[in-house]
Amino acid sequence: MTFTLEIDAATCIRCGKCAKVCPSQVIVQQEPGGPVSVPRPADCIRCGHCVAVCPTASVRHGLFPPETVHPADRTLLPSPEALMLLCRTRRSNRAFSRKPVPHEKLLQILEAAHRAPTASNRQQVAFTLVTDPAKLRFVSRFTLDTFAAVARKLENPLLRPLLRRIAPDAYRYLPSFHRMQREYERGNDMILRGATALILIHTPRDNAFGTIDSNLAYQNGSLMAEALGVSQFWTGFVYMALRHGKAERFRRELGIDGIVHAGMALGMPQFLYPNYIDRRPIDLQEE
């Protein structure tokens, strides 16, 4: 993609902020108060730091025209105490009500997730929002069917001696696999727990940082969900099933082109937690 990147010398006050924040050193200021230049525009990673930091709108970036730049009222930011309370109270609440999550809240959660940073600013994280009850049932059924197939292998008398040596941890999940299947047959879905919405986070197959980028997006989205009073949990069982099952069938059924790295099950809570509890002491090493 070609684009223009230049400095308007007539309005530039030579503060040098754009050069200081540029991660690729595309923008250069040789000395404090000196002129600002753009010697290597082709190395731009399109992050927009230079546009966001310029106090006089002197950075002219073809990818960020004036209508995409907005003033930030930093007085509206949460206090450190408010943000810490949000982090402390965020929990995986699986006690969902039958009330669907309002669509506008889902869009806010997706916007927050989309705002997360990505490696080299590639911005290749994509989202699939599932609210169709039939599709949600497919996700749970796919996960359970995958676990059933894994259980059959683990219990195969011919394979058991080998698998116990190479995958001993897998056997501790066997009772859970069987219990989840029994509960589902009784009408109790232990995979999505009655969630009315599911956000699947995925990236192209060739993105080496897909897992990291997707989980950064998840963290943003989960904090927004907490702020909105929407309950959510990370769909670990679905993730496990995708690593051990027929992932291509899953992606085809849901129209996903790429690799799913994270999932967020969402629902309106039956209740909220009135308390937060301490975690184990932080494991910190200072050098």
Q: Which ranges of the chain would DSSP assign to H, the alpha helix? A: 17-21, 49-53, 80-89, 103-114, 133-155, 160-166, 174-185, 210-228, 236-244, 247-254
pLDDT digits (tens, 9 = 90+) for 128-180: 999 999 999 999 999 999 999 989 888 888 888 887 888 788 888 888 889 99
- Token pair for residue 260? 């799913």
Answer with the residue of higher pLDDT: 200 or 164. 200
Residue 194 to residue 232: CA distance in whole angstroms: 11
Query: Do 19 and 27 touch, CB atoms closer than 8 A?
Result: yes
- Residue of 135, 105, 114, 131 lying closest to 231 (CA atoms): 105
Per DSSP, the three-state class of 267 is strand
DSSP assignment of 116-166, as one string? S--GGG----EEEEE--HHHHHHHHHHHHHHHHHHHHHHH-TTTHHHHHHH
Give 233's strand partners.
Answer: 265
Q: What is the pLDDT of residue 85?
A: 96
Identify the CA nearest to 173 among candidates 240, 220, 239.
240
For 204-247, what is each residue's pLDDT tens digit?
A: 999 999 999 999 999 999 999 999 999 999 999 999 999 988 99
236-264: b (≥16 Cβ within 10 Å) or e: ebbeebbeebebeebbeebebebbbbbbb
Which strand ranges, in their side-by-side order, compose the sheet holding 259-267? 126-130, 197-203, 259-267, 231-234
> Which among 268, 279, 210 has a CA at the least distance from the CA of 239?
210
Q: Looking at domain 87-133+191-267, what is its CATH homologous superfamily?
A: NADH Oxidase (3.40.109.10)
Among candidates 222, 221, 195, 187, which has minimal Cα distance to 99?
195
Confidence of residue 1 (pLDDT cuts 50, 70, 90): low
Q: Considering only CA atoms, give the Rg of the chain.
A: 24
User: Residues 72-101: pLDDT tens digits?
Assistant: 999 999 999 999 999 999 999 999 999 999
Decide if 133 contacts 198 (C-beta within 8 A). Answer: no
Contact 195, 265 (CB under 8 A): yes
Q: 5-68, what's its fold? A: Alpha-Beta Plaits (3.30.70)
Total Cβ atoms within 10 A of residue 7: 21
- The answer to whether 175 and 108 have CB atoms below 8 angstroms apart is no
Domain positions in the chain: 5-68, 87-133+191-267, 135-185
